[in-house]
Amino acid sequence: MTDRPRRLAAILAADVVGSTRLMAEDEAATLDDMTRLRREVLEPCLSAHGGRLFKTLGDGFLAEFRSAVEAVRCAMAIQAALAAGRVGLTLRIAVHQGDVAVAEDGSDLLGDGVNVAVRLEALALPGGIAVSARVREDLAGRLPVEAEDMGEQALKNVPQRVRVFRLRGSAPGETPATGRPPALALPDRPSLVVLPFQNMSGDPSQEYLADGLVEDVTTALSRIRWLFVIARNSAFTYKGRAVDVRQVGRELGVRYVVEGSVRVQRAAAGQRVRVTAQLIDAASGEHLWADRIDRDLEDIFAVQDEITGSIAASIEPHLHAREEHRARASPPGSLDAWGKVVRALSLVFRISRDANEQAQLLAAEAAALDPDYARAHAVGGWATMWSAHCHWAADGAAAYRKARQMAERAIVLDPGEPWARTTLGHILSGEGAHAAALVELESALAINPNFALARTIHGWALLRAGRMEAAVEETGKALRMSPIDGFAGFYASIHGLALLGSGRFEAALPHIRRSTAAFPEFIGNWRLLASCCGHLDLVEEARDALARADALGGTQTLSAVYRHLGPHAHRDVFVEGLRRAGMPE
């Protein structure tokens, strides 16, 4: 048996940070990111620096270079691309130069030269690069990098200790070698900056549109009271610069970054504008949300308002989801009032009895920790009110009274608390105090025009007040504004109710069916479905819906529904549908 051929090679080893957790949270998205990582980052960088990918290891890979300097240049290019948000993954990378054995077919490499690189990778920081002393020597005078000496390290299955260096400034949170200022401390609430959007039109005269959108989006997000937003002037210091979002996060002390671009194109019927926007976690470079919006550019101000609203409304639920994930990952005893409220909000969005009970408990704990925290009282009020609305509370009347007191307490603490205004408006609407309800709900929307839940409740109140067309328009707008957040099925339900109230039964049916699928514990959905199917003579589906409603809340009669809907303008059409569905008198 002949010895395998050997050669000296620089080996680059890389591994995805937290891949097991990412796969558990969203396997399909993680696999898609892995594919994009290889296609859009690894392969171009390896090609540019003379590297050869010779092995993949699930969530990691190994590459060979003839030059240690080129291997490190490639590692730096990969990390820079990921820091710029190219793919929502984070890598640890190590480079070692040593003797390797070549497999018989010439494709694979074996031996200590490979083993050391693999073991070194675990010593790199997330987003950073670790190198052996041998590679560090080759870099001297060739690459302007500084390194932190980690000393000699004992590596698993490697007989001799290896001296290890971490390249300075190659990972988030490090002090770079270029003398940039240290990272600012993060505020005590979620923080965000909207960076200047790129003008992709090739026409400098369109710069005003990109800048105007950034200013409007910044203003819209600033209305979200739980969010700390960096002022426009600070954000625009990055205009025209290629930025690393992780460095922006350090310099401005923010957790999230919004980036985007604007392109104006001529079309047969005039001009069209395409706006792209993305929300990025500044610590990891991970993409949390991205969207593309295409519009005809007829009325520039109307288009600008619509795009601004769409971006702001889409970002808020993604921020809530991310903050809820952070809170959930923390030990329960360590959660502060903000963390408890974030967890409560995530549970409120699920619209189930168990989640509602947990949300009430967390909101109460947050209010106990900070009695002057208006959002804690407001979210607790919403959850308490909703438990009464869904017949989960043992004493519905008492729950409504308690919810009203909590909402009013929140408004005293903070008159600009939109959840409190929305809760109070909904309670007043249910009581038939239509004018007072609309005042509260319009106040909530004046505070945050992109609060999709408040817009839906406003539409519901308009329906109860007999303003059918306005109700359909408003509930439809809420559904368009936030089609994927936790309440999307609820928005569909109320839009379906508004359509039913205006006599558009066929248009209402798909929205109502969508909502029953999303929230099978919401008894009101099943009665709404029964009414709609009754009007459409869908007898079997109507009876099945009634049976589902009865199983959740006991047999209901037409007279009881009629009394309950007494002050509401859509009462007659709703009850008539239930009559046709077979509900007893």
- Digit-by-digit pLDDT tens for the chain (585 residues) are 356 788 888 999 998 887 777 777 778 888 888 888 888 888 888 988 888 998 887 788 999 998 999 999 999 888 888 876 667 788 889 999 988 888 777 678 888 889 899 888 888 888 889 999 889 888 877 777 777 777 778 777 777 888 888 886 544 444 333 334 445 667 667 888 899 888 887 777 677 778 878 878 887 787 776 778 887 767 877 777 767 788 888 878 888 899 888 888 776 667 888 888 888 888 878 787 788 888 887 776 677 777 777 777 777 766 766 666 566 555 545 457 777 887 788 788 777 889 899 999 999 998 998 898 888 999 999 999 999 988 889 999 999 999 999 999 999 998 888 899 999 999 999 999 999 999 999 999 888 777 888 999 999 999 999 999 999 999 998 887 665 456 678 889 999 999 999 999 999 999 999 888 888 888 888 999 999 999 999 999 999 999 999 888 777 899 999 998 888 999 999 999 999 999 998
Bridge partners for 147 per DSSP: 167
Instruction: Tell me which of 3.30.70.980, 3.30.70.3040, 1.10.420.10, 3.30.70.1230 is the CATH number of domain 6-167.
Output: 3.30.70.1230
**28 CB-side CA count, 13 A:** 0
d(CA 377, CA 422): 13
Q: Which of 95, 93, 176 is nearest to 131 (CA)?
A: 95
**Collapsed DSSP state (helix, strand, coil) of residue 224:** coil
* Strand 191-194 versus strand 228-229 pairing type: parallel
d(CA 493, CA 508): 9
d(CA 468, CA 507): 14
Phi–psi pair at 256, nearest 5 degrees: -130, 150
CATH number for the domain whose boundaries are 415-581: 1.25.40.10
Angle 300-329/468-481 helices, nearest 10 degrees? 60
Number of neighbouring beta carbons within 10 Å of residue 80 = 15
d(CA 46, CA 66): 12
Instruction: Compute CA 340 distance to the chain's CA centroid, rounded to the nearest angstrom.
Output: 18
- Ranges in the chain annotated CATH 1.25.40.10: 415-581
Q: 467-498 burial string, b = 16+ CB within 10 Å, else e?
A: bbeebbebbbbbbbbbeebbbbbbbbbbbbbb
d(CA 305, CA 152): 59
196 neighbors 238 (Cβ within 8 angstroms): yes
Q: Which of 417, 339, 338 is nearest to 381 (CA)?
A: 417
Question: What CATH fold (topology level) applies to the domain 191-309?
Answer: Rossmann fold (3.40.50)
Bridge partners for 137 per DSSP: none
Q: Which of 331, 90, 312 is nearest to 214 (CA)?
A: 312
Number of neighbouring beta carbons within 10 Å of residue 505 = 21
d(CA 283, CA 268): 44
Number of neighbouring beta carbons within 10 Å of residue 1 = 3
- Ranges in the chain annotated CATH 3.30.70.1230: 6-167
d(CA 33, CA 8): 33
d(CA 125, CA 38): 21
d(CA 438, CA 440): 5
DSSP letters for 377-423:
HHHHHHHHHHHHHTT-SSSHHHHHHHHHHHHHHHHHH-TT-HHHHHH
341 neighbors 362 (Cβ within 8 angstroms): yes
